[in-house]
Amino acid sequence: MPTGVALHDARAQLLTAAEHVLLRDGPSGLTSRAVTDEACVAKGVLHRHFTDFDDLLAALVQNQISALNRMAAELVDQVGSGTVGGNLSTALSELFHPPGLALIRLILSRDELRARLRSDTRQGIPFLTEAVTGLSAYLTAEQHVGRILPNARPDTLAHALVGTGHLLFAGGFGGLPDESAVREIVEAITVGAATS
């Protein structure tokens, strides 16, 4: 980048570039050089805004966790409307969209990144742990209005939904599953718990 050209929010520009590289090239192609090239900035710009490359990656994940938390809050706002199965199916499809899957692959492939993220979150795999928390909050709220049985365990159901959903979406069967496949696993997991 030529000297003297002002950057408008270089931090956001670098994070957007990192997301583009991750989606296009996967975790193995996500390097500091690839990010600065994608952002059209000198490598020094990255180090002015982040302590190191893993700091940038942690910020990328934290941004997605914030988006996930907003999605979870919106899901809780839907308590009592639609169907529990329909709401959960939509949530899983949003959670495991291509950027979410790419982010999970990144988190699983980088030990240092997981270690940094775990200082901010509970045990488990960052991002997936927050997904379980969000679905559990929704299921608990549905339990309070009577659409999930009183003896059901929302936390256990949420773990099953996230784990099975991840396997379904990341399974590599030639593309993302269709809506009916997602609905089928949601119904299989919640069959003994949902009243609607």
Q: How far apart are CA 108 and CA 102, in angstroms?
A: 10
Residue 155's pLDDT is: 96
- Maximum Cα–Cα distance for the chain, whole Å? 65
CB within 8 Å of 71: residues ≥ 6 apart? 91, 94, 95, 134
Residue 124's pLDDT is: 82
Residue 15's pLDDT is: 96
Q: Which two tokens stand for residue 78?
A: 């839907």
**Residue 46, CB half-sphere, CA atoms under 13 Å: how many?**
25
Query: What domains lie within the chain, and their CATH numbers?
Result: 1-50 (1.10.10.60), 53-190 (1.10.357.10)
Q: For residue 57, which of 114, 136, 140, 119 has the smallest C-alpha distance? A: 114
pLDDT in tens, 150-194: 999 999 999 999 999 999 998 765 578 889 999 999 999 999 898
pLDDT in tens, 56-113: 999 999 999 999 999 999 999 999 999 999 999 999 999 999 999 999 999 999 998 9
